[in-house]
Structure 1
Amino acid sequence: MKTSRLLFLLTGSLSILGLSGCSANFGSVSQDSVQTTVHIKGIAHGGQQPLSGAHIYMYAAGTTGYGSASTSMLTSATGNPADANGNFYVTTDATGAFNIGDTFACPTGGSSTEVYLYMVGGNPQQSVDSTDNPHAGLLTTLGPCAQVGTIPSVSMNESSTIATAFALAAYATDATHIGSSSTALGMQGLFNAGVNALNLVDQATGQINATLPTNANVSIPVSTINTLADILASCINSSGGSACPSLLSNALSSGTTGTAPTDTASAAINIAHNPGDNVSALLNLANNASPFQPIVTSVNDFTLGLTFSGGGIELPGTPAVDAAGNVWIPNAISASVTEISNSGAFLSGASGYSTGGNWAESIAFDTSGNAWVANFLSRSVSKLSASGGILAQYTGGGMGNGPNTIAVDASGNAWVATGNANGLPAQGTVSILSPGGTFLSGANGYTGGGLNASDVVAIDGSGNGWITNTLGGIMKVTPAGAFPFGPTGITDSTITNPSSISIDSAGSAWVVSSGEISRQPGSVLKVANNGTILVEGLLPGAAPEGVAVDGAGNAWVTDVTSGSVNVLSTNGTVLSGSSGYHGVTPGSFGIAIDGSGDVWLSVLGESSSVTELIGVAQPVITPLAAALPVTPTADGSSNLGTRP
């Protein structure tokens, strides 16, 4: 991964020298049971029109699996009526206002369980003849259960619905089935997703925030959210739902196929699941007379990208995600690491954490929360605490040619791929550091097995390291220094300048070849744990660079030239359309996926930055070391590329 950044610096401009809630930090997830007394005043609008006679439900997210049934929270205690399914609700008046007053115990998931409001029906009151619209549906998240009693007012509209649907997309199948697993990481991911929703739209007013409440450097894609809100409004603001077929028929559960939603809330969830499908047809539902302005009139897809700059981000490397969902960025030029909280704040200050080295190239976490950083030009590795303090620095052990990337195994050992800081002829090594800093691979590291310009390292469920060479080839190294793929590793005509590698749950490796040095076409291939090439020669974009596997086993591949991100299924089928997703400017480079399904991209350009695509992937276990088995598996299988 180093090569592209060095080439960019040399050939590009030399001037190149990120969740707490909307207004509060709710802290870490908890499964404590609490009694919560609620008194929330709210208002429901379709566009600028109050919705009269709508039913407002309060649900807690399910904890029995992703997309599991939500739990209805309201009771008959304050005279609330119940629907045919026995779920209680409150009703909006002619001004769209409603009141929720009740006392209840937080559900099985505890005080951190995500709670949200779901509105169904309502009369948009556009004329004296206007009737109830059964297809009107709105959403807004309230945050964790323990905090619901502190919320004074809530506004439900199309903007809050889009924010909730996109941020919680990985957890939702429809408006009444939003849930995660009951694991600590699963609930942490849903908690963070709820924070994302509250960051996008102000809870009290329903207005889209221009910037993140926790970070004014981060702009929110207001025009895109407005456009999506107007698409929903085209249906909601129609008497009896007369204008709804155009929306509902273009927001199917699988994009262009599947079942049609019955209301606009579930339609928003379907669009979030399939952001590149039926884009033109949906865009036609918004215009300059729609209630939310300004809008976009031309867009490749509906992904929502937040771009982080500042905070020490300078020529960023591949992001890494810790157990809390905080994202860490290694910065080459500033020799620092930037930590972005799950609320989007720069926890590492204006300049990032110093690594004590030079040219921070790669970062990985152990399961104790420590960050290991490879410093390329200083030929060293730094170990940082969870708060960014330097715990130790290591040199030697075969790292004299410059550490390129670093990965941590289930035992907490740090694997370092080293090569070509001393120029050509390239010399490659793999060094393994114990948690205490002992070089388990000896004074000179492991060599041979085809290693030359060793670039990227990843660990499989067998505890073996997979290595790519910048000049071509894929190697595997055991902890004892053996090379199962023989003296030359895996070579193939499509393996030209491999730049990234990611392991899935079966122990297979997804490898991206950029072709940037050899001037050959870039490609992507998938290699079985035994070295058999399973999928070969895929070309998702003109200049593929980075790869990461999400919780469904799909491979996400960046494209430097177009700035797109392309998604490949487990068998190599392109899921992101012919152009990929374009929620980021050209220069997308390194990639990581967090426990909420957000995709994080480092971006090279005149102004170095990092982009977060909200809720577009499936959540994955973080850090990666936490997905590896303590007892190695024979076939390399693990929990990599699976949901928490």
Structure 2
Amino acid sequence: MSVMKMTRGPLALGAASLALLLSGCGATTTTSTANPFVTTATLSGKLHGGNQPVVGATVSLYAVGTTGYGSAATLYAQTTTVAYGSFSFNQTAITGATGAPSSITSSYACPTGSTTNPDPQMYLIAKGGETQGTGNGNNSAAAFIIAIGKCSTAASANVDMNEVTSVATMAALQQYFNPVTESLGYASSTQSQQGYVNGLAAITNLADVTAGTAKTSVTLSATPTGSTNAVTVTATPEFNQVNLLANILAACVNTTSNTSTNCGTLFTNAVAPSASVTSQPSADYSSINATNEDVVQALYFMLTNPAAGGSASSMNALYALVNAQAPFQPYYTTAPTDWTVAISYASASTCTVSSGTTSTQKFLTGVNAPAIDAQGNVWAASVGTGGGLFEISPNGTPLTCALGATVKGTSPAAIDINGNVWVGSTVAANSSYNLYKWNSMNSALESTWPIGSTAVPSTLATDGNGNVFYATTGGVVGELVSAATSGAPVTAAQTLASLGSSRTFYFMQADASGNLWIPDVTASNPSSIFELFSSTNTSGSTYENGYETSTISSSNLYFPYGIAVGQNMVYSSNGAGSGSPGVSYRWSFITPDSSTHTASVTTSSVELGGNYSVRGVAVDGANNVWQANNNPGTGNWVTGTSTGIGYGLAEISAAGNAISATSASGTGAYGTNTGGFQKPSPFFSIGARGPAIDSTGNVWVGQNSASAANITEYIGAAVPVMTPLAAAAQSNLLGQKP
């Protein structure tokens, strides 16, 4: 990709990138003079099961549903693969077309006359066919899927539909897929559509959709805002995992019947998730069984229940379907503990900043706690000695590199309801420590706010009312009132609570009522979470400047390192990492009382694997809780051996049930202390910290280091959320889908 100056557009990036990468020499295009919005062209491709062409398969072109996650898609055209697995669709220009044709053929027209969805997102799904080129019959279990972008650009596509491109599509868009109807669909909200489009960009980071191969790396270069020079980010997808998943599917596809032994093994061991933890909690999978299941449905089950329900036998059975001559190379040579797919984003570039003090620190270095804006762009303030405010697009393209050493060793970034990005600095300027407001729309430093000569900021949060909160290393919690609005805040920084100089605050979050939740991880007092709430009780000893403090202490809280607000619940994880599994690995569920501002604290009965030295938690759109692990175990619960591979993430449902892997026995060296979502280097070279979830369902995780120069994305693994968190609080959508 050539170096370019980046501009912002809420829905343009994913679609434009996809159209560029999908186009190939097999596509022909003629502009229609009657209606220049639509072209007359050919959407072409080929269908492969492994390396074998699939002949006689039915290929269908659909418009993505728009009434909900996995909502009903609309069939536009249909054809059959011929020699060498080839197929094509003819796009015609019909002025005033409003939707799908009344009779389904291999030709289609984009609905230029539609007022509700004039340029729908499209995808292809192929089913059946002779999968070994032997003429020995139709394999009804063979199925493939690929998303191809907007209708107006679909005819520029020349695709290879195979298991790799199916894995890339399903991983990126799994939260939008309904396995019962096998349809892709998003909700009517702008952010749900945004999340879908951002997912398209992830597909092109995982696979070359024209060649049908997994990508080993992608180079993304641009001159980001705030920098005077170009920056390059290298995206390294987990290609071994993509190929492994593709090979497992191919083991079933490349048989002559859905009743083959390989297909039976796949369908038995690709265990469906509990619908309650997915984007479609009312789904009923009972209609899918061994007689009618296909590999696309099995792939969905593997990705949405990535540890096969914690069954080592199922994980091993699926891995055993792959042999040394498998069609997609290379793949993992040891059975993984989960089926999630990750991408690492790293950079060796430095930038000369036009606003702030330039440092020699590399782009994306010291990213501990990423934050997501309304467009799905990822922001991070570096905790490294060189400082810096960084932003990348949903596919990893560098967008902002600003401030540099001005925000040296900064606290995590926070995004307000208007999209402004706030950071603090551990470096005093003009006799004060400061908070800095970066206006992302104007791409400029808008204001600097002093908070005191001893008030070193340690964490930040924003609420749904436009207020910005900060905590300091001296145990002070303060506020900038209405700071999200343009110009100066209504008042200067004011103190809300003085909780003691021994307190240590690294994370905090506001709920939908504007209450602020702050966990204390001080070693001498490892069991407290504070709630700050608006109050008129001016006589109270814990009252300051309109807020009162409630202290929540419980034996169930032990180093509550991280806080996340969901629906009617606040979550924390015990993060000391030095005690026994029964002490250090638990989840705490805090049920607040909005009238008395007290809370009951309970602990999950499941001692999740990998929950060791927790460094941050997040809640997704189904109220599932995700935690980052800094010092995870190294045992592989599937193989029962030590691998030296860390477990970056673990997940639990709102009901307190493990979604991440756990040992079948629950004891021993490879028991409850070694499960979780496991990734090798370069994904977590030091340890994970500060997870954040976007509107696609990707989980972004920082490194627990001031020197590591990369950020990790788990593709589509979580249920989508509204971003930024302040906007979710404003709309009362914390812990819910947008």
Is the TM-score greater than 0.5? yes
Query: Which is worse superposed, 577-586 or 270-279?
Result: 577-586
Amino acid at match of 1:47: G
Farther off after superposition, 266-275 or 226-235: 266-275
> Partners in 2 of 1:339 and 1:328 — Cα distance?
4
1:449 and 1:478 map into 2 onto residues whose CA distance is: 18
Relative to structure 1, is the Cα distance of residues 355 and 144 closer, same or farther in structure 2, using a 3 angstrom cutoff?
Answer: farther
1:224 is paired with a residue whose SS is: helix
Structure 2 counterpart of 1:48: 51
Stretches of structure 2 that go unaligned for 5 or more consecutive residues are: 1-13, 23-35, 91-106, 222-232, 276-284, 309-313, 350-362, 633-646, 663-674
SS of the residue aligned with 1:628?
A: helix
Rounded to whole Å, the distance in 2 between the matches of 1:439 and 1:214 is 41
Alignment of 1:135-146 (within 5 A): 135-146=141-152
- Once the two structures are overlaid, the 10-residue window that deviates more, 429-438 or 613-622, is 429-438
For the pair 1:359 / 2:398, whether they are aligned, the reply is no
Aligned pairs, number: 587
Q: Report whether the alignment pairs 1:346 with 2:383.
A: no
Separation of aligned partners in 1, 2:563 and 2:59: 47
1:239 is paired with a residue whose SS is: coil
Q: CA deviation at 1:521?
A: 3.0
1:109/1:343 CA distance change after superposition, 3 Å: farther
Deviates more, 1:609-618 or 1:495-504: 495-504
Local SS of the residue matching 2:692: strand
Instruction: Indicate whether 1:240 and 2:257 are aligned.
Output: yes
Q: Is the 8 A contact 1:211 1:217 kept in 2?
A: yes
Residue 200 of structure 1 pairs with residue 210 of structure 2: no
CA drift at 1:24:
3.7
Which is further off, 319-328 or 558-567? Answer: 558-567
2:479 paired with 1:431: yes
Does 2:473 correspond to 1:419?
Answer: yes
Q: Any idea what the Cα deviations from partners look like across 1:605-631, whole Å, max 9, x if unmatched?
A: 56332100001110000011111237x
SS of the aligned residue for 1:533 comes to: strand
User: Could you give the per-residue CA deviations for residues 507-531 of structure 1, whole angstroms, max 9, x where no partner exists?
Assistant: x211233226999735431111223
1:164-243 correspondence to structure 2 within 5 Å: 164-174=169-179, 176-212=182-218, 214=220, 217-241=234-258, 242=260, 243=262
> How big is each residue's C-alpha offset from its partner over 1:148-174, in whole Å with a ceiling of 9 and x where there is no partner?
1332x1111110010011111111122
Report which stretch shifted further, 531-540 or 142-151: 531-540
Amino acid at match of 1:318: A
Q: Indicate the SS of the match to 2:461.
A: strand
Q: Equivalents in 1 of 2:412, 2:368: separation in Å?
A: 6
Distance 2:502 2:533 in 1: 14
Q: CA deviation at 1:177?
A: 2.1
1:602 corresponds to: 702
Q: What CA distance in whole angstroms lies between the structure 1 residues aligned with 2:254 and 2:604?
A: 49
Matches within 5 A, 1:509-548: 509-515=570-576, 521=584, 523-530=586-593, 531-536=598-603, 539-540=607-608, 541-548=611-618
Summarize deviations over 1:8-38 as a string: whole Å, max 9, x none.
xxxxxxxxxxx46346499xxxxxx965645
Query: What is the SS of the residue equivalent to 1:42?
Result: strand
Tell me: CA distance 1:193–1:443, structure 2 relative to 1, closer, same or farther (3 Å). Answer: closer
Tell me by how many angstroms 1:486 deviates: 7.5
Report the AA paired with residue 412 of structure 2: S
Q: Matches of 2:247 and 2:293 in 1, distance apart?
A: 18
CA contact (8 A) 1:501 1:510 kept: yes
The aligned amino acid for 2:704 is L
Identify if the C-alpha distance between structure 1 residues 443 and 581 changes in structure 2 by more than 3 Å, giving closer, same or farther. closer
Structure 2 residue identity aligned to 1:329: A
1:374/1:145 CA distance change after superposition, 3 Å? farther
How far apart, in 2, do the equivalents of 1:109 and 1:403 lie?
47
- Alignment counterpart, residue 318 of structure 1, candidates 369, 389, 392: 369
CA offsets 1:54-89 (integer angstroms, 9 cap, x no match): 110011211111111111122xxxxxxxxxxxxxx1
For 2:320, the equivalent position in structure 1 comes to 284
Q: 1:450 to 1:336 in 2, by over 3 A?
A: closer
Judge which range, 282-291 or 242-251, deviates more: 242-251
* Equivalent residue number for residue 5 of structure 1: none
Q: Give the 3-state SS of the residue equivalent to 1:186 in structure 2.
A: helix
Q: CA deviation at 1:479?
A: 4.2
How much does 1:417 deviate?
A: 1.6
State yes or no: 1:642 paired with 2:736: yes
Partner Cα separation in structure 1 for residue 536 and residue 324 of structure 2: 64
- Tell me the equivalent position of 2:299: 268
Q: Quote the residue 1:556 is aligned against.
A: 626
Is the partner of 2:136 in helix, strand or coil? coil
Counterparts in 2 of 1:167 and 1:399: CA distance versus 1, 3 Å: farther
Indicate yes or no: 2:344 matched with 1:307.
Answer: yes
CA spacing shift, 1:448–1:296, aligned 2, 3 Å:
closer
CA contact (8 A) 1:535 1:572 kept: no
TM-score (norm 2): 0.74
Counterpart in the other structure of 1:490? 552
C-alpha change, 1:25 and 1:623, in structure 2 (3 Å) is farther
Q: Identify if the C-alpha distance between structure 1 residues 434 and 205 changes in structure 2 by more than 3 Å, giving closer, same or farther.
A: same
Alpha carbons 1:111, 1:144 under 8 Å: kept: no
Change beyond 3 A, Cα 1:591–1:355: farther
Relative to structure 1, the CA distance from residue 161 to residue 130 in structure 2 (aligned partners, 3 Å threshold; closer, same or farther) is: same
Tell me: CA distance 1:359–1:535, structure 2 relative to 1, closer, same or farther (3 Å).
same
Q: Return the alpha-carbon distance in structure 1 between the equivalents of residues 588 and 423 of structure 2.
A: 28
CA contact (8 A) 1:380 1:399 kept: no
Residue 442 of structure 1: CA displacement? 5.7
Q: Counterpart of 2:123?
A: 116
CA distance in 2, matches of 1:518, 1:487: 30
2:44–2:88 CA contact under 8 A, matched in 1: yes
Q: 1:97 aligns with which of 58, 64, 86?
A: 86
- Cα distance in 1 for partners of 2:492, 2:566 equals 25
Asked if 1:163 corresponds to 2:168, the answer is yes
Structure 1 CA distance, aligned partners of 2:515 and 2:55?
62
Q: 1:126 to 1:517 in 2, by over 3 A?
A: closer
Label 1:517 to 1:470 Cα distance change in 2 as closer, same or farther (>3 A).
farther
Secondary structure in structure 2 of the residue aligned to 1:360: coil
Question: 2:676 corresponds to which letter in structure 1?
Answer: G
Specify the alignment match of 1:79 in structure 2. Answer: none
Q: Distance in 2 between matches of 1:461 and 1:451?
A: 29
Give the aligned residue type for 1:363.
A
Change (3 A) 1:287 1:517: closer
- Aligned 1:358-397 pairs, distance under 5 A: 358-378=408-428, 379-386=433-440, 388-396=443-451
User: In the alignment, is the contact (CA less than 8 A) between 2:476 and 2:495 conserved in 1?
Assistant: no
Instruction: Describe the SS at the equivalent of 1:165.
Output: helix
Structural mapping, 1:614-625, within 5 Å: 614-625=715-726
The 2-side partners of 1:226 and 1:25 are apart by 20
Whole-Å separation in 1 of the counterparts to 2:531 and 2:370: 24
CA distance in 2, matches of 1:207, 1:219: 14
Distance 1:535 1:35, change over 3 A: farther
Q: TM-score, normalised by structure 1?
A: 0.85
Q: Distance in 1 between matches of 2:725 and 2:434?
A: 22
Question: In the aligned structure 1, how far is the partner of 2:536 from the partner of 2:375?
Answer: 33
